């Protein structure tokens, strides 16, 4: 058996009303990739934040190479050889790559900052681990995959032997994932240990040596790779069998519902965010937008759903221009919108589910009478019916949205938007931050919408989701749709090349 780098013993952590970690024990061996999986809120991120000194455990012990240690803050974790690459990078965008790597560890010569010695050390780390980045580039000017390399170099520069990666592939193209996994293998060949937190079970099975499943704050099981399957892991995570494949209904494509023609949008600096974007979505079709986040997808949905002002172009719904219509006109014409940030744009968190489930319809009968007096009984009746139909787990329709889990909050939004029986559904990151069970449910609802002849525009940073659900796929890069594919006639790898803008490699 390999040397044990890390041993966490009976770690318990309570928050008000929540037992986040319930006597969790977890080991990491030298030269091992150990995946940590579980639904949102299962306790895996809490456990790693304890390891990194961001939380203190209520009880339990941590050992590094057999020596018991107490970690009170990230500085002590770093000194103990622990490094963490967070899902949202901790970088300073205007600083150079070199400045970001050495920040807090600067060396001085004659009272002045000396970058020559760190630069040599970093170049050696780059060569050793295949993490090549231009040290003089500003972080804000390099793509997401290279920004992640900067984060990895930061922790290696500080001597990390235990590396924790929290959802590291969430925003990467398939090619960038492949490069990351090459780096993983290079690191463990040097005797380092990697903790890999991920929802993507295919990737877990590809790269992990062992897989620990956490559910409701407890370790359910630790599996060796050769005894694990996607269906087994999913069942252990959720506590019941999960259908991982989406059933695709055979639907005859109908007429064009949404037509976007030469749409262009500028930001406050007069820089183009969208440039001549054109595409069509038909009745009974799911049209997916693939792309690395920050290439104009958010703004595209806002323009269609929220009537954001444009530079030029036209938006047609069932052949009629809606470019100059306001939000209410668009909703009443049959556009529904699942926004990418459910807390900021999708829900009124302190309000009840009954109130949230009638947002956008609250001014219409039967929820108000002709004198605009609210009918609370009708609002509650509607909410009860929707809660039952969409299997929203809640004690009551009077429960606040804030009291629900992330998955059930997302179900509320999906239920509300589909209960209007829209002609066009805009689904932006519909399963972001929700667990496998809620994801399965939402995917099925999108397929039901397709079967009912609705047009669905799906925008997702998860390429697996886009590939699984879409009939056609448009790839966005730097505010343009640079290529359109039929789902059956492409691969993840081909789409990945276009997502990075490398059209010449993908073939035309």
- Cβ contacts of 380 within 8 Å, gap of 6 or more: 354, 397, 398
Structure-token match 């990491």, residue found: 28
- pLDDT attached to residue 117: 79
- pLDDT attached to residue 55: 94
Query: How do 193-197 and 162-166 pair as beta strands?
Result: parallel
Count how many Cα atoms sit within 13 Å of the Cα of residue 68 in the half-sphere of its side chain. 3
**Rg for the chain (alpha carbons), in Å?**
25
pLDDT in tens, 399-419: 999 988 788 899 999 999 999
Decide: helix, strand or coil at residue 292.
Answer: coil
Q: Which residues of 318-332 are buried (b: 16+ CB within 10 A; e: fewer)?
A: beeebbebeeeebbe
pLDDT in tens, 281-301: 999 999 999 998 889 999 999
- pLDDT attached to residue 199: 86
Question: Chunked in runs of 10, what are the mean pLDDT values of the chain (508 residues)?
Answer: 90 91 96 93 90 96 95 94 89 94 72 72 93 94 91 95 92 89 96 94 95 96 96 92 82 95 92 96 97 92 90 96 95 95 91 93 83 87 93 91 88 94 96 84 94 97 92 96 95 92 54
Query: How big is the chain, counted in residues?
Result: 508
- Cβ contact 281:256 at 8 Å: yes
CA dihedral 386, 388, 390, 393 (to 10 degrees): 110
pLDDT in tens, 69-101: 999 999 999 999 999 998 778 899 999 999 999
- Cβ contact 466:430 at 8 Å: no
Residues 146 and 100: their CA atoms lie apart, in Å, by 13
- Cβ contact 394:344 at 8 Å: no
- pLDDT attached to residue 503: 61
Domains of the chain, earliest start first: 4-238 (3.40.50.300), 256-506 (3.40.50.300)
CA distances to 213, 266, 322 from 283, in Å: 41, 30, 18
Return the ∠ at Cα 246 (arms to 253 and 415), rounded to 5°: 80
- pLDDT attached to residue 107: 62
Task: Report the first-to-last Cα separation within the chain, whole angstroms.
Answer: 50
**In this structure, how many other beta carbons lie within 10 angstroms of the beta carbon of residue 102?**
24
- Cβ contact 46:124 at 8 Å: no
- pLDDT attached to residue 17: 82
- pLDDT attached to residue 506: 44
Return the ∠ at Cα 349 (arms to 347 and 350), rounded to 5°: 140
């Amino acid at each position: 058996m390999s040397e044990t780098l890390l041993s966490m013993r009976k770690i318990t952590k309570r928050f008000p009303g929540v037992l986040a970690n319930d006597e969790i024990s977890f080991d990491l061996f030298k030269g091992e990739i150990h995946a940590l999986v579980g639904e949102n809120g299962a306790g895996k991120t809490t456990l790693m934040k304890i390891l990194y000194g961001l939380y203190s455990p209520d009880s339990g012990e941590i050992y590094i190479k057999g020596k018991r240690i107490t970690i009170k803050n990230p500085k002590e974790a770093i000194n103990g050889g622990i490094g963490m690459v967070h899902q949202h990078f901790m970088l300073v965008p205007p600083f150079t790559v070199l400045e970001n790597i050495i920040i807090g560890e600067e060396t001085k010569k004659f009272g002045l900052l000396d970058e020559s010695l760190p630069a040599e050390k970093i170049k050696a780390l780059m060569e050793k681990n295949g993490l090549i980045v231009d040290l003089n580039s500003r972080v804000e000017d390099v793509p997401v995959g290279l920004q992640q390399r900067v984060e990895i170099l930061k922790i290696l520069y500080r001597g990390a032997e235990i590396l924790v990666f929290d959802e590291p592939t969430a925003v990467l193209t398939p090619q960038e994932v492949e490069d990351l996994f090459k780096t993983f293998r290079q690191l463990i060949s040097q005797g380092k240990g990697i903790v890999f937190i991920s929802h993507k079970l295919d990737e877990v099975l590809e790269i992990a040596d062992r897989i620990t499943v956490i559910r409701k704050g407890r370790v359910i099981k630790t599996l060796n790779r050769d005894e694990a399957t996607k269906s087994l892991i999913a069942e252990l995570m959720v506590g019941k069998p999960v259908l991982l494949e989406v059933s695709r209904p055979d639907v005859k494509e109908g007429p064009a519902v949404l037509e976007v023609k030469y749409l262009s949008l500028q930001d406050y600096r007069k820089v183009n965010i969208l440039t001549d974007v054109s595409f069509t979505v038909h009745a009974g079709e799911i049209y997916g937008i693939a792309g690395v986040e920050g290439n104009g997808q958010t703004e595209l949905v806002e323009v269609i759903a929220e009537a954001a002002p444009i530079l030029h172009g036209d938006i047609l719904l069932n052949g009629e221009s809606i470019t100059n219509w306001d939000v209410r006109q668009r909703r009443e014409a049959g556009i529904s919108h699942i926004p990418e940030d459910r807390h900021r744009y999708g829900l009124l968190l302190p309000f009840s589910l009954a109130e949230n489930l009638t947002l956008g319809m609250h001014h219409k009968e039967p929820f108000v009478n002709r004198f605009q007096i609210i009918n609370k009984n009708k609002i509650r009746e509607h909410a009860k019916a929707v809660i039952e139909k969409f299997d929203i787990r809640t004690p009551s329709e009077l429960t606040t949205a804030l009291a629900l889990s992330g998955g059930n909050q997302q179900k509320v939004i999906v239920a509300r938007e589909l209960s209007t029986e829209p002609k066009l559904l805009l689904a932006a990151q519909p399963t972001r931050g929700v667990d496998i069970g809620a994801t399965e449910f939402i995917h099925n609802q999108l397929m039901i919408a397709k079967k009912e002849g609705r047009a669905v525009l799906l925008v997702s940073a998860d390429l697996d989701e886009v590939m699984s659900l879409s009939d056609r796929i448009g790839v966005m890069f730097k505010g343009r749709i640079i290529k359109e594919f039929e789902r059956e006639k492409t691969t993840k790898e081909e789409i990945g090349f276009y997502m990075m803008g490398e059209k010449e490699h993908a073939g035309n």
